[in-house]
Chain A
Amino acid sequence: MKFLVCISQTPDTTARVAFTPDGKAYDGTGVTFIMNPYDEWYALVRACELREALGGTVVALNVGPAANETTIRKALAIGADEAVRIDAEPTSSAFTARQIAEYARSENFDLIFLGKETIDYNGAEVGAMVAEYLDLPYIAFASKLDLEGNRAVVERDIEGGVEVVEVDLPFVVSAAKGMAEQRIPNMRGIMMARTKPLKVVPPVPVEEPVQVVKFTLPPPKAGVKLVNPEDMDELVRLLHEEAKVI
């Protein structure tokens, strides 16, 4: 089995959010970057588990500059066998999806994993785009995935419940909570990651149909209005008359 796991690098959850003075781009100065948690905890770990059970190769793929190699090495330390970096700034989901698809097209992966969304732009767009470029089925928000020969049984989150579906390989899947448990890389993994292959591939040109106009930070909250714990009628009045939510 040959598994591809697309990993993205995002600002740490606790990082402050700031933008360049023209408001056109995220300002990552002084920010710690991490592997997108959905990619790391669920997609990558499940791919490694399946490889451990069935044999094969797990390839971790990142679209990003050389600075991302720390994150890529972490994926190798967790268990990916090899890595590929498409050498470009991931400017949009359309751009990233096209790069992933161009790479995957000739590699005949049995299963392509992504996290359900990135924690920065929260778009959940790339998986469906990759699947369309490659003309493969796409299962989004999978919380469980098992293989039965050449067929997968997948539980996907739907509005108000879970749907159990089956689909033949190959396909594209986006991983949500439940698919696997986070793995902390051990010392042996970290040592081995240093010598695992990391291939750098040039990007293909993409026409961008969407442009950033500007990013803005919300006005600071007015501050909490404290209500006397003895007087819940007052809270109800505020929610009704002032906030108008009940």
Chain B
Amino acid sequence: MVLVYAESPRGQFKKAAFEAVTFGKKLADQMGCPCAAVVLGPVQGDPGELGRYGASRVLQVSDDALQTLDSQSYTQVLAEVARQVGAEVVVMSHTSTGKTLAGRVAVRLKAGLVSGVSGVSEVSGDGRLVVRKSVFSGKATAEYAIISPIKVLSLMGNAIRPEVEGQAVPVEALSVAVPAPRVRVREVRTVEGRVPLPEAEVVVSAGRGMKDPSNWGIVEELADVLGATTACSRPVADSHWRPHHEHVGQTGIAIRPNLYIAIGISGAIQHLAGVNNSKVIVVINKDPEAPFFKAADYGVVGDLFEVVPRLTESIRKFKAAQ
């Protein structure tokens, strides 16, 4: 059995949960076993919808105590559910929730863990599972064999597209004792509006070449027509031109969108470390010697104050014609 923990931060499934179930289903097919999804805490909507992504069973522990992400109570519950269903592989998402839990669950289940997995290389009959992940901030790929009887994986965001292939299934309510959380939430501050950077498929990012924070309108407009999330380089965040949660790079957030558009960013190695895993990189910079061009798929050498509005207009035209 492959057991997927379908996370539901603040009671809502995000793309990460659908990706994890899709991945779990494909892995289960390779292993010749079923895939179950487990949901922790109350959620909005019908968790049985996870069946559409390939889960043949959807299990829910809906105790209110699980509204707080406490790694100890979550681990207790996940380990108990894994034991009840006889899970050979437990799949999670490589998100802040998943990273809070994966190591802990692996220790509890005496399981080998590989986190940030981007794909499965080999499922062998003798119980070995070989998986791939990106290491050294996208500068290399590693393959690891997990040899323990139980295995834990966390799936890198955007590594697989969610696929609808089945239908909703009835939800099985599990009764599992939930210990009282030792972590208490005082306050939640969310950033409304755009898709959070780690989940974003398209990211429009800008750097010091913008010259002044008041010039960001053209970046926002480009992001709007693309349905993209905005990001920035470290110097921009450090000078408070943009909020810190937009900072991508070595010390900020590492992202892996399908499309990353870098505007007026020179491409220091610390910045590249956070964006190397993007599928396609477009660089717009007036300096043809900017190191970012070496890492780019497409480059535009020109004045960003002319090029960006022109690109926005071309995309608007393209979207209207679609």
Chain A bound to chain B: yes
**Distance between B13 CB and nearest chain A CB, rounded to angstroms:** 12
Q: In this assembly, does B27 line the interface, its C-beta being within 8 Å of a C-beta of chain A?
A: no
Interchain CA distance A165-B298 in the complex, whole Å: 43
**Distance between A103 CB and nearest chain B CB, rounded to angstroms:** 16
Q: In this assembly, does A235 line the interface, its C-beta being within 8 Å of a C-beta of chain B?
A: yes
Contacts of B306 in A (CB 8 A): 229
Contact with B along A104-147 (1 / 0, CB 8 A): 00000000000001011111111111011101011111000000
Interchain CA distance A132-B152 in the complex, whole Å: 15
Interchain CA distance A50-B100 in the complex, whole Å: 24
Q: In the complex, which of the residues B136, B270, B294 contacts A221, with contact meaning CB atoms closer than 8 Å? A: B294
Interchain CA distance A155-B161 in the complex, whole Å: 31
Q: In the complex, which of the residues A94, A133, A140 contacts B113, with contact meaning CB atoms closer than 8 Å? A: A94
Interchain CA distance A171-B183 in the complex, whole Å: 10
Q: In this assembly, does B33 line the interface, its C-beta being within 8 Å of a C-beta of chain A?
A: no
Chain B contact surface mostly: mixed
Contacts of A229 in B (CB 8 A): 300-303, 306-307, 310
Query: Which of A133, A140, A212, A214 counts the most chain B CB atoms within 10 A?
Result: A140
Q: In this assembly, does A210 line the interface, its C-beta being within 8 Å of a C-beta of chain B?
A: yes
Interchain CA distance A211-B315 in the complex, whole Å: 47
Contacts of A37 in B (CB 8 A): 250-251
Q: In the complex, which of the residues A128, A129, A158, A245 contacts B202, with contact meaning CB atoms closer than 8 Å? A: A245
Q: Is the CB of A212 within 8 A of B302?
A: no
Determine, out of B18-26, B48-56, B277-285, the stretch whose residues face the partner at the interface.
B277-285
Q: In the complex, which of the residues A138, A162, A235, A246 contacts B100, with contact meaning CB atoms closer than 8 Å? A: A138
Q: Is the CB of B71 within 8 A of A210?
A: no
Q: Is the CB of A128 within 8 A of B104?
A: yes
Contact with A along B188-200 (1 / 0, CB 8 A): 1111000010110
Which residues of B approach A to under 8 Å, CB–CB? 9, 14, 16, 68-72, 75, 95-97, 99-104, 106-108, 110-116, 121, 130, 134-137, 139-148, 182-191, 196, 198-199, 202, 226, 244-245, 247, 250-252, 254, 258-259, 269-270, 273, 279-280, 282-283, 293-303, 306-307, 310-311, 313-315, 317-318
Closest 6 CB pairs of A and B: A229-B302, A209-B112, A128-B103, A161-B190, A209-B148, A160-B196
**What are 15 A-to-B residue pairs whose CB atoms are below 8 Å?**
A17-B136, A125-B102, A132-B75, A132-B107, A133-B107, A141-B96, A158-B188, A165-B185, A177-B244, A177-B247, A177-B251, A209-B147, A212-B142, A233-B314, A235-B298
